[in-house]
Amino acid sequence: ERGFIPTISALKEAQDFNRVALRSPVPINLKIDTGMGRMGVPEDQALDVLKKISTFTNIRIHSISTHLPVAGEDADYTRDQLLRFGEIMKQFRAAVPIDYKAHVLQSAGVLAFAEPAGAFDMVRAGIILYGISPLPGFQKLLKPAMTWKTRISLVRDIPKGSSISYGRTFITPREMRVATLSAGYADGYPWHLSNRDAAVLVRGQRCPILGRVTMDLMMIDVSKLDHTQVGDEVVLMGRDGNEEISCAELAKTAGTIPWEITTRIGARVRRVYV
């Protein structure tokens, strides 16, 4: 009743939903494993499972799907996978000619692969809804929709030879003006950006992160800025003036992927929708 459509990867799961359905048939998405190895009915068993599910009185087959594991890495495999899924759908529609949708293309697939004509009905846009391309060559087509900000909570002049943060991994080579930010890895900002030449934006200028990112705070060098004050806005990810720190840049510097950057932003980070 809330529009939730469960994805089914086994006949047993469909049988369970058929048994517990109360007032009306449960719409389900039948997942076919064509190479992801994570969820789905094995490809060679899929038609038999579909035929059995189609007889369940408390199940309505809403859609059929599969997933592309290397859409951004192996174009040949992906094209073959799309062709195989297209053939599966032809078999399905011939054997069980009822109204259901087919979908396979996630963000990378939407950008890089044309669907076989008439084979698929929907797409599963994910990270591109943030304006972030999973394929660097397509980023120019998108405009990032999310900016991640914090504020300066403390500004101090630190003498030469002082240590910054845990582990004393950064020692000031000269007198520096250091600002402490009200954000850390408990907010989802990657600890792995510590000591990796990562930066933030203050008034449209890049300011290096100093030492290790801590749980709730991190320190940056604002020596080149004039009149930095407590409360000044800081961009952790996004654009400020002519400078930008992209999600892809953060991910590459931290040794991770853009999906992890966006999904790990914590609940205590206030969301502002504009």
Neighbour count for residue 210 (Cβ, 10 Å): 24
Q: Is residue 98 part of a domain?
A: yes
Using pLDDT thresholds of 50, 70 and 90, give the confidence band for residue 262. Answer: very high
Determine the pLDDT at residue 25.
92
Return mean pLDDT, the chain. 95
Q: Tell whether 56 and 166 lie within a shared domain.
A: no
| 249 CB-contact burial (10 Å; exposed 0-12 / middle 13-18 / buried 19+) | middle
| 100 CB-contact burial (10 Å; exposed 0-12 / middle 13-18 / buried 19+) | buried
Which of 141, 165, 188 is a domain's end point? 141
Q: Tell whether 18 and 134 lie within a shared domain.
A: yes
pLDDT tens digits, one per residue of 40-85: 999 999 999 999 999 999 999 999 999 999 999 999 999 999 999 9
- What H or E segment, with its residue span, contains residue 77? helix 75-95
Q: Tell whether 132 and 157 lie within a shared domain.
A: no
Q: Tell whether 158 and 131 lie within a shared domain.
A: no
Q: Is residue 271 part of a domain?
A: no
Smallest CA-to-CA distance from 71 within 109, 38, 104 is with 109
The DSSP secondary-structure symbol of 74 reads: -
Which of 141, 169, 201 is a domain's end point? 141
CA distance 236 to 191: 13
Q: Compute CA 216 distance to the chain's CA centroid, rounded to the nearest angstrom.
A: 23
Q: Tell whether 119 and 153 lie within a shared domain.
A: no
Q: Is residue 272 part of a domain?
A: no
- Note the helical H segments in the chain: 11-20, 46-53, 75-95, 107-112, 247-254, 258-263
Q: Are 182 and 216 in contact (CB under 8 A)?
A: yes
Determine the pLDDT at residue 3.
81
Domain boundaries, position 171: 148-263
CATH number of the CATH domain containing 28: 3.20.20.10
**Largest Cα–Cα distance in the chain?**
77
Q: Tell whether 137 and 169 lie within a shared domain.
A: no
CA distance 238 to 248: 11
Q: Tell whether 252 and 154 lie within a shared domain.
A: yes
Q: Is residue 53 part of a domain?
A: yes
Whose tokens are 């931290």? That residue is 254
Question: Ramachandran region of residue 255, left (φ > 0), alpha (ψ -120 to 50) or beta?
Answer: left
Q: Quote the number of domains for the chain.
A: 2
Between the CA atoms of 78, 80, 85 and 86, what dihedral angle is there, to the nearest 10 degrees?
A: 120
Determine phi and psi for 113, rounding to 5 degrees: -130, 130
Structure tokens at 175: 């007198």
CATH number of the CATH domain containing 195: 2.40.37.10
Helix (H, G, I), strand (E, B) or coil at 220: strand
Q: Tell whether 117 and 170 lie within a shared domain.
A: no
Using pLDDT thresholds of 50, 70 and 90, give the confidence band for residue 32. Answer: very high
Which of 125, 141, 157 is a domain's end point? 141
Whose tokens are 């030449």? That residue is 197
Using pLDDT thresholds of 50, 70 and 90, give the confidence band for residue 22. Answer: confident
Helix (H, G, I), strand (E, B) or coil at 235: strand
Query: Which distant-in-sequence residues (6+ apart) come within 8 Å of 260 by Cβ?
Result: 251
CA distance 123 to 106: 6
Q: Tell whether 132 and 17 lie within a shared domain.
A: yes
CA distance 175 to 63: 63
Using pLDDT thresholds of 50, 70 and 90, give the confidence band for residue 23. Answer: confident
Q: Tell whether 43 and 93 lie within a shared domain.
A: yes
Determine phi and psi for 148, rounding to 5 degrees: -110, 120
pTM of structure = 0.90
Using pLDDT thresholds of 50, 70 and 90, give the confidence band for residue 93. Answer: very high
Determine the pLDDT at residue 120.
87
Mean pLDDT of 193-205: 97
Check pLDDT > 90 for residue 1. Answer: no
Q: Tell whether 11 and 118 lie within a shared domain.
A: yes
Determine phi and psi for 172, rounding to 5 degrees: -60, 125
Q: Tell whether 156 and 219 lie within a shared domain.
A: yes
